Structure 1
Amino acid sequence: MEHVSKEQLARFVEGELPDAENKLVETHLDDCDICFQLYVSAIDDWSMPEIGLSETFTSETVAKITNQNACYHAKSSNPPASKARKKQTFAHYLLAAGLTVVLMLTGAFQNVLTISDQTSVKDEVSITDQLMNTTTSWLDQLKGEINR
């Protein structure tokens, strides 16, 4: 492909080229430093299309955000509900702590340890050892067949 023209680069930058021609230009820009430099200068010369924003856009947007934040804070700050929630959480904590003390004093936790000490751990061969033994015996059989 020959060098890309400035008009073609401008259309490439603006995204106005057909897909096939767009791919050819991309491939050429990867290979040709001269055209790549022209492409960079075309990007520098390219101006953004004007977006029609009103003069009061910024102030209106800030006002909307401020109103939304004020509404959010008004909804989320509910002191009576949070106090009630804290009281409920504290009551649950006291109940759990009290039950723990009672169970410790009655020796319930000691009985759990005694029961777990009395159970015996079975001496079983682990799965890994079983696999190793099976594989070893299979390899020994295979070695015996090859030696025959």
Structure 2
Amino acid sequence: MNQHRPLNIWMQYVNDELPPEERERCEAHLDGCDACLELYMECIGQHADSLPALPDTDAFAAAVMQRWTEEQPLASEAEDTPANQPAESKRRIPWTQSPFFHYAVAAAITLLLMSTGVFHSLMGHPEPGRMSYSASDQTEAYVPFSEILLEKTIGLLDSIQPKHERGGTR
């Protein structure tokens, strides 16, 4: 039922000569059909000459602006009343819930953990007294974490694997 409407139907639509159910179908069709929308716009363009013009556009604009300026002070006064202000702005946030307090506590805990060496022991670095400063010593002594993990996994699998697969009896 999604057929294009002819130009005469759109002229009747613009002139308000269609029955209400047909008008609704035309409106629904306009939502999804660009070709019919162009026909409708063409009909409006042809019909624009017969539409009444505004008698005095300057006076109309002045009246609208006057009414708007009269209503603006009323609107700003209504916004300034304490009843319209949100409850959050009336109540202060406790200092323990402020973001600055949370950042300060996090920084203090970080400094405490750094000074006690917790991060140093987590990383598995050698102690400062036993550190070597030569590049060749560091590359020889350095074993990647993945290598250590691989060795431990192989050891675990060897302990789980049945003895008969390794050449022995169960």
TM-score, with normalisation over the residues of structure 1? 0.40
Q: Structure with the greater relative contact order (CA < 8 A, sep ≥ 6): 1 or 2?
A: 1
Higher Rg: 2
